[in-house]
Structure 1
Amino acid sequence: MNIQLTSKSVLVALATSLGVSALIALAFCFLRPFNSVVYAPRLRFADAKHKPPELGPSPLAWIGPLAMKEDVLVEKIGLDATIFLRFTNMCRNIFLVLSLVGCGILIPVNVVGGKQMYNTSGWSVEGLMKMTPQYMYGGIFWAFVGCAYAFNTVVMYFLWRNYKAVTRLRRAYLDSPEYQTSLSSRTLMVTDIPKSLRTDEGIVRITDDLKTTPEVPRAAIGRNVKDLPNMIEEHEEIVMKLEKVLAKYLKNPNKLPATRPTCKPSKKDEAYVDKNTKVDAIEYLAKRIERLEREIRTVRESVDRRDAMPYGFASYESIESAHSLAYLAKRKHPQGTTIRLAPRPNDIIWKNLPLDPKTRRWRRLINNVWITLLTLAWMAPNALIAVFLTNLSNLGNVWHGFKTQLEQNPNFWAVVQGVASPAITSLFYYLLPSIFRRLSIQAGDVTKTSRERHVINKLYSFFVFNNLLVFSLFSALWAFIGGVIEKTNKENKSVMDAFQELHPLVNTLVALCSVSPFWITWLLQRNLGAAIDLAQVANLAWGSFRRKFGSPTPRDFITQTAPPPFDYASYYNYFLFYSTVTLAFAPIQPVVLLVTALYFCIDAYWKKYLLMYVFVTKTESGGLFWRVLFNRMLFTAFFSNLVVVLMVVSHGDPYRWQMLAAMIPLPLMLLGFKIYCKRTFDDQLAFYTKGESHKGVEAALPVDKESRRRDRVGVRFGNPALYKKLIVPMVHEKSQHLLAELYKGRLHDDGQDVSGYSDVYAMKRMSHERPGKAAPAAAAATAPFEIVKETELDFENFKDRPEFSEEHGGGGEAYGRSADVIRPGTPGSLSQFGGSERGRSESRDSERTYAEDVGVQYPKGYHSTPSALREYSPSPERGHRGFENVPVAGAGQYGLYQVRDETALLGGAAPMGRGTPYERGTPGEDGEAGEYFRGRQF
């Protein structure tokens, strides 16, 4: 019964997987031309450079553009997405080749080698079980040893080939105009700075301890923003909560609910003593937003009086200088600091930068404890699924009523075992990534890229241990315990005698052969998941449900039309886990190789469409995921070798020890290959140069020293909490006339800008329709809210706003607004965020000094008001930029924009007070290079 049920389950899984996947893919072909919001958002919003080819209206028009070459893909979708597709294609090629090797050798060996045993014994064995090695013993297992060498060789060959290709793509990325003109490409991030060196000047001294470069770096020490990020985060949460309250209450403006919405005051709100009394939600949330805005403004105005932080940045005029210093600093810690290449500003997790090494180590320890507890907690339900749902006959053995049902309705329970069991296992996958992201941030990761790499590591470790080892071995353990109980009860033997007679290793291999059909059905269902992903079924269903039955806010409508970010950590983990399961069970059940090869053949094609037309990369790492993938694939090959070891030990007599000795070189091969690739490729992946001259596109991109002097390192690599624009509640236009009745507080613009430092700090609100003219009273009356028209509920109208583009395009990179690219001729007052920019003194080093008793002291002229934080003041001699769309102070936070002339507005304004900058002397002029400076001696 068990074998027949298993075979039927595999057939059911095959039929449902291929049949339903084909139907979903066919539905996608006909739905795609009529819904570009879901099926081609990148085509709608990307700029000319990143825009994929146009798609025709025919159902199969999407197939042709997928032939795009890899070099063009890098430009269109980015290096991370291109490497993801290359990794998918690599997995496809690996399993296609292994299918030929594994199925061509192992299936005939298993069928022929086991035939004598089950024919002699008179056993009825179906075809699927005949392909397993459980009926063989002796020297025939030399074939598995040989296949282990073949598997390792195939995996290493494709890894080596793709390592070379990834290195080529990475070098082209480093030579690209985007990287060459970015500020982060020539900036170093310095952490763990001691108190005595927490100044701009101190950062220069630290870098000079490593190497003296021809140019003095522009340094910027970090500012202590204390609770400002938490206040801004709380402000955003309250704004969105107010939006939801208003959207629900104003769903039908012509027929409002009888009672106004209420809520309980926040526990963080000190203005309310009784936190259990319900208050009017609209009045309370609006007033709390106002109070938070005032508090944020107060903190921002006083932030420069606080102590400096133990991190900072140093920017050089040439990429070679920054990368050569980063290469020298790989294993050195001058003054106890850590120096590395600076990530992009939008990649930094700012709240973790101030953490000291001791705190990071402690947090990592706590993080590992939580992950261990989560892993152990999942073992119990995982074991129950492994024992009963993968093999329903086990449940029948302990539940006689169910056994009767199983015998009476075998076809129905075959469907349950083949479909429901793998589906339940997959449900847990969707929760883990978010859990591990939170844990990685708590552990002290300083960049989103490193956080995602650690999430891949944690997810993969969790899946391999819990969903593969525990899942498979518990099934084996249950079968072994059942055998011991049967012998002790029926044959009256002791537990020890029964244990010895059953041979634990032999029964473990037999149990693994029995559970292998489950993994075939599970892998078959991955095709169904890939089809659902292509058709964006979840987005279609959830969007339709929310519009019809929910009360979506204008912000919800806008984000729903935006390109969704691609979850690299989850997808990479899935592919790695599929590969590990396949290679682990390939010696036991070679059919899994064919199933996985089929999956990657289909999904490699579908994922290419999704990355070209649907998804965007939220934070571009420049291909830094590759080494994580490489290491996990090597582990996968090693794990497959361990399975062959188990087979040899349990069934290899009398040649067991000879076979084991022959397998000793296998892990050494993998280790040696790892060391070779590390020494050959890793430095090329990480550094533009290790110190020698690098001739790339520098000749075509000459250094613009004037623009380099306007880099504004302190602003571009400043904590966004200092200048991030505060979001404002969005209200649909149909409810605009009710705002005066709903909210009795401030309904006019008070002329104050709490969204950041601005050159137009107290200007009146300007008209959006009539540039240069003041906004009418009706517009001013909606000052605390942003009114959004029905025709504007589309991401196209908001893709230039950081609050939307940061989540759906990496800070606007896909839309031609990269925050990290230096554009020559850009005035110093224009920030990468579209508003005015406040930095620090134009001098290369601040004149702040450190004293143990009072902390950081600032010289006279270093003011703390927003108007004093200007690094450059626009003036006529800087040139005329014409007109720019920039946010208006006091109104920009409400989404109202005006057109103004940046240079004419504050022409001739004086720069902030500063000290005389110093310059480093050249060798032989002021003594030893790096030790003496004009006007200052260290």
Structure 2
Amino acid sequence: MEVSDLATSAGINIGLAILFLVLYSVFRKLPGNRGVYNTREMLRESQCKEGKKQEEKQPFALENLVPSAGWVKQAWDLSDDDILQSAGLDALVFLRIFVFGMRLFSICTLVGCGILAPLNFNDTYLKDHPSEKNGSLDKLTILNISQGSSRLWFHLAVLYFISITAYTLLYLEYKNITNKRLAYLMAAVPQPDQFSVLVRSIPKPGNEDESYSKEVEDFFQRFHPLHYLSHQMVFPASKLQSFLKEFNKLKDKVVSLKAKSPEERRPCRVGFLGLYGPLVDPIEFYTSKLEDLNLKIRKEQSAIFNRKKELPTAFVSFKTRWEAVVTAQTQQSQNPMLWVTEWAPEPRDVDWGNLEIPYEHHFFRGIVAAIGAGLITIFYIPLTTLVLALANLDSLYKFLPHMLLEILLKMLVNNSPATWFFFSQFLCVCVFSLTNVLHAICCSPGVKQVIQGYLPALVLAGILYGLPPVFLFLSKLAGYVSISHQERVAAGKFFHLLAGNVFLVGVLGGSLISVINKFSSEPREIPRYLAESMPSKADFFITYILTTGWAGFPLEILQSGVLAFNFMTRMYVDIHRPLLTGVYSLPYYRQLPHVLLFVMVGLTYSIITPLLLPFLLVYFILGYIVFRNQILHVYEPAYETGGQFWPHVHNRIIFCLVFLQVCFIGVFSVKGLGKGSLLVIPLPILTLLFNAHCRRLFYPNFKQFNVETTVKKDQDDEHNGLREDLWASIRNAYLHPTLQPVELDIHENSNNMESLLPSSSKRASKV
């Protein structure tokens, strides 16, 4: 690890971070950017026109162009209760991951930089072995500890200390989040998902004249006669949904045209793409198309109801939460593949398209999705290896041309020379050109430092940016019926790619085949192989932290993509377009895997390379501030699960701890500590026992909904006289959105679900 490479990467990323934060502090004050940086406030305004009036009333002031850091204090001073009240428990739990990281790595930084780094620096292993090529900062790492040195016992003690500290913080966090979840669900206002279950694989009626709806009604009136309330069948509505999308687009276009003055509304032609036909007023033209489409929608809705195009899936609602608990958590039929029940997601959390997938197809779809995720991971391994090769240009310059020439010779030996003549000439030219390019780069210190210190992390972040939506698509393909469940699964798949592809393959280096051959032929040497490979890769992970965190979080708060779209739309498409052009939810499936990857990196390198820890601590502090600001001003919750993804976070942190402890079995073996390697073996066992204890103590509160809470809330509803109003509201809560009445004079946002009770301000869901 060279100081110049690290300084170059740090300088570039710190400069970009300062630039992004300065631009944000200026742009957030400009009225025209309210729809970018104050989305949540504008969403709560009664009409977008009011936001436009506020923009017009605010005069231009030079002080708006002066950067300020007031938003930092505002975000930092926000209490957990404020976040819970405003954004829900999911957002609060997401921030608690950053709190856990700050607490854990602040302790690790004090121990690592205060004890281990000086201890490593004062040893003489690298001085006594000058033939081994090492960076100028490697004296601060465990590489500088002599073979069999008694100093390694301090490292063993720190390993135990960090493990016990992680256990303590994880336990306290799990306990705290569990208590918040129970309190949140107990205090939550009544919502339809608390009284409803999703029923799938409904058996086909024996009589052709009967419908699935009749089967559902008969079944639940027979086996749940006292508490059955109503049900809503699921219909295939893909055609109707396409009509509604076109309807909403036309309605937005008419609203935009009405905002223009008559002079600005140019007549349009009615022919294809406006290329021919008579000239007409655009408002009259699009209003006529809107009315025709409205008629088609009503006819299609009527056809769905009249033809009884029902699917064997229904939302069944009950009069009490207690009955919903019993139904959702018990088997309804002797055949477990019939009358399958589970908790109903929130109405806004339902993926209605996936409800059309037959229940028996989910198993095979899950296999296809898993295979797809595995293939993507394998496909990205060569890309990751190539990117990481840029981090060591000297080795690339030394070995790559010889490797390509060796491949060429093998091809010439195994095949006809005439067949490979043209290809060999091309490959020779490539080898010669590549050698000259690498030589020129290695002889240019400034260029070399930029490419070797900054470029690999930037390229890797770029090629990984488009993967989260792909994994989200695979989760949708698997058939999960709730958007929140799809995002949790997508986050898990993406973390597996980051942990296996970016971290493990990045540490081990080489090709996938060589790694598999090494592990399959000598499985007992895996810890030793990891121990020998990890220290040399610490510099890359420091630059990756700088690029994705120190510069990445300011880029997140700047919202550059949305900012550019807002500017282009308002300045070049339609200056009268409302400020609020889109409301986004926090992309957990994109952010969570990266945070967990850096927990893994920090734990693994906390003892090997303590210098990495201060960079990681700044990462968690900066991410904590940025996302508190974003949750407060930008992201609107798309659903609420009551912090249900915390058990998944906990399990992955446990995996990181086990990985750390297994690696140090190899580290102490390589360093010749002897019995020290045996003393590490109890730690993975202790970690798994700790996880089993937490799973037994806390996880049931996330997996199931307890009867005690449901009965108390049912009694409160009865005591307050709310039951009749609740039942009336629940009956149509799960009506398919495409079957809702369509009005021409009302502009609605189907993503915002109103509460059953007008005074409600919080939402809650179960599992």
Please report the TM-score for the alignment, with normalisation by the length of structure 1: 0.65
Checking the alignment, whether the CA contact within 8 Å between 2:569 and 2:575 is kept in structure 1 is no
Note if 1:629 corresponds to 2:639: no
Q: Relative to structure 1, is the Cα distance of residues 417 and 124 closer, same or farther in structure 2, using a 3 angstrom cutoff?
A: closer
Match of 2:659 in 1: 639
Q: CA deviation at 1:618?
A: 1.9
Q: Using the aligned pairs only, state the percent identity.
A: 20
Is 1:173 aligned to 2:184, yes or no?
yes
Structure 1 residue 823: Cα displacement:
5.2
Q: Please name the residue that 1:769 is paired with.
A: none
Task: Give the Cα–Cα distance (whole angstroms) in 2 for the partners of residues 243 and 646 of structure 1.
Answer: 68
Contact 2:194 2:321 in 1 (8 A): yes
Match of residue 348 from structure 2: 346
Q: d(CA) in 2 for partners of 1:570 and 1:183?
A: 29
Hey, what does 2:762 align to over in structure 1? none
Alpha-carbon distance between aligned partners in 1 of 2:612 and 2:703, rounded to the nearest angstrom: 36
CA distance, structure 1, for counterparts of residue 271 and residue 161 of structure 2: 68
Match of 1:707 in 2: 725
- Tell me by how many angstroms 1:222 deviates: 1.2
1:241 & 1:371 partners in 2: Cα distance? 38
Corresponding residue number in structure 1 for 2:54: none
**Structure 2 counterpart SS, 1:235:** helix
Are 2:3 and 1:7 aligned? Answer: yes
Q: What are the within-5 Å matches in structure 2 for residues 624-773 of structure 1?
A: 624-649=644-669, 651-653=670-672, 655=674, 658-690=675-707, 694-695=711-712, 699=716, 702-713=720-731, 715-723=732-740, 725=742
- Name which of structure 1's ranges 659-668 and 439-448 shifts more when overlaid on structure 2: 659-668
Look up the equivalent residue of 2:366 and give its one-letter code: R
CA contact (8 A) 2:201 2:359 kept: yes
Aligned to 2:539: 517
Supply the distance in 1 between the matched residues of 2:464 and 2:704 (Cα, whole angstroms). Answer: 35
Alpha-carbon distance in structure 2 between the residues aligned to 1:123 and 1:447: 55
1:415-441 deviations in Å (ceiling 9; x for gaps) = 222222211111123311221222211
TM-score for the superposition, normalised by structure 2: 0.78
Q: Specify the SS of the correspondent of 1:339.
A: strand
Out of 138, 141, 149, the position equivalent to 1:129 is 138
Does the C-alpha gap of structure 1 residues 675 and 711 become closer, same or farther in structure 2, counting only changes over 3 Å?
same
What is residue 162 of structure 1 aligned with on the other side? 173
Code of the residue aligned with 2:693 in structure 1: it is: Y
In 2, the alpha carbon distance for the partners of 1:221 and 1:697 equals 22
1:536 aligns with 2:559: yes
Asked if the contact 2:352/2:481 (under 8 Å) is kept, the reply is yes
- Offset at residue 668 of structure 1 (A): 2.2
Q: What corresponds to 2:49 in structure 1? A: none
Q: 2:754 aligns with which of 797, 819, 823?
A: 819
Per-residue deviation at 1:615?
1.8
The CA deviation at 1:64 is 4.2
**What is residue 98 of structure 2 aligned with on the other side?**
88
Deviation of 1:564 (Å): 3.2
Alignment partner of 1:182 is 2:201: no
One-letter amino acid of the counterpart of residue 41, structure 1: T
Equivalence map 1:752-901=2 (5 Å):
801-803=748-750, 806=751, 811=752, 818-822=753-757
- C-alpha RMSD over aligned residues: 4.3
Other-structure match for 1:830: none
Report what 2:80 is aligned to.
70
AA in 2 matched with 1:519: F
1:611 deviates by 0.9
Alignment of 1:540-555 (within 5 A): 540-548=563-571, 550-551=572-573
1:447 deviates by 0.4
Q: How far is the alpha carbon of 1:584 from its aligned partner?
A: 2.7
Equivalences for residues 610-621 of structure 1 within 5 A: 610-621=630-641
Matching residue of 1:837: none
CA distance in 2, matches of 1:692, 1:405: 71
Aligned partner of 1:451 in structure 2 is: 486
Shift of the alpha carbon at 1:207?
Answer: 5.8
Structure 1 position 392 matched with structure 2 position 415: no
On the 8 A contact 1:324/1:691 being kept in 2, the answer is no
| CA shift for structure 1 position 676 | 1.7
1:33 aligned counterpart, secondary structure: coil
Q: Considering only CA atoms, is the larger Rg found in Structure 1 or Structure 2?
A: 1
Matches of 1:367 and 1:338, distance apart in 2: 22
- State how far apart, in whole Å, the 2-side matches of 1:360 and 1:706 are: 37
1:623–1:374 Cα change, 3 Å: same
For residue 469 of structure 1, report the CA deviation from its aligned partner.
1.8
Deviation of the 1:344 alpha carbon: 0.9
**1:336 partner SS:** coil
Going from structure 1 to structure 2, the CA distance change for 1:423 and 1:191 (only over 3 Å counts) comes to same
1:800-841 per-residue CA deviation (whole Å, 9 max, x = no partner) reads x225xx2xxxx1xxxxxx4342459xxxxxxxxxxxxxxxxx
Paired position in structure 2 for 1:150: 161
Q: How does 1:398-409 map to 2 (within 5 A)?
A: 398=401, 399-409=434-444
For the 8 Å contact 2:349–2:483, the answer to whether it is kept is yes
Does the CA contact (< 8 Å) of 1:386 and 1:471 recur in 2?
yes
Is the deviation greater in 571-580 or in 682-691? 682-691
Is the 2:662–2:684 contact (alpha carbons within 8 Å) kept by the matching residues of 1? no
Residue matched to 1:382: 384
Q: Please tell me whether the aligned partners of residues 111 and 131 of structure 1 are also in contact (alpha carbons under 8 angstroms).
A: yes
CA distance in 1, matches of 2:74, 2:143: 48
Q: 1:366 to 1:127 in 2, by over 3 A?
A: same
Tell me what 1:220 maps to: 231
Name the amino acid aligned to 2:618: L
Distance in 2 (alpha carbons) for counterparts of 1:332 and 1:174: 32
User: Which residue of structure 2 lines up, in the alignment, with residue 46 of structure 1?
Assistant: 44
- Larger displacement relative to structure 2 (91-100 or 37-46): 37-46
Distance 1:196 1:109 in 2: 76
Paired letter, 1:119: D
- Using the alignment, how far apart are the partners of 1:343 and 1:194 within structure 2? 22
Maintained 8 Å contact 1:83/1:623: yes
- In the aligned structure 1, how far is the partner of 2:699 from the partner of 2:526? 44
2:57 equivalent in structure 1: none
Q: How far 1:527 moved relative to its partner?
A: 0.9
CA 1:172–1:323 in 2, change beyond 3 Å: closer, same or farther?
A: same
Q: Deviations over 1:616-652 (max 9, x none)?
A: 1122222222122111111121222232233234x14
The aligned counterpart of 1:601 is: 621
| TM-superposed deviation, 1:588 | 2.9
Q: Which residue of 2 aligns with 1:845?
A: none
Larger fraction in helix: 2
Answer whether contact 2:507 2:537 (CA < 8 A) is retained: yes
Letter in structure 2 aligned against 1:564: Y
Aligned to 1:580, the other structure's residue is in SS state: helix
Q: Residue in 2 aligned with 1:874?
A: none
**Tell me, which stretches of 5 or more residues in structure 2 are unaligned?**
47-62, 402-433, 760-767
**Distance 1:516-1:223 versus aligned 2 partners, 3 A rule:** closer
Q: Distance in 1 between the 2:252 and 2:271 partners?
A: 12
| Range that drifts further, 198-207 or 405-414 | 198-207
Bigger shift: residues 39-48 or 715-724? 39-48
SS at match of 2:592: helix
Matched residue, 2:116: 106
User: 2:757 and 2:173 mapped to 1: Cα distance?
Assistant: 32
The number of equivalent residue pairs is 687
Q: 1:284 to 1:445 in 2, by over 3 A?
A: farther
Instruction: Evaluate the alpha carbon distance shift between residue 705 and residue 94 of structure 1 in structure 2; reply closer, same or farther with a 3 A threshold.
Output: same
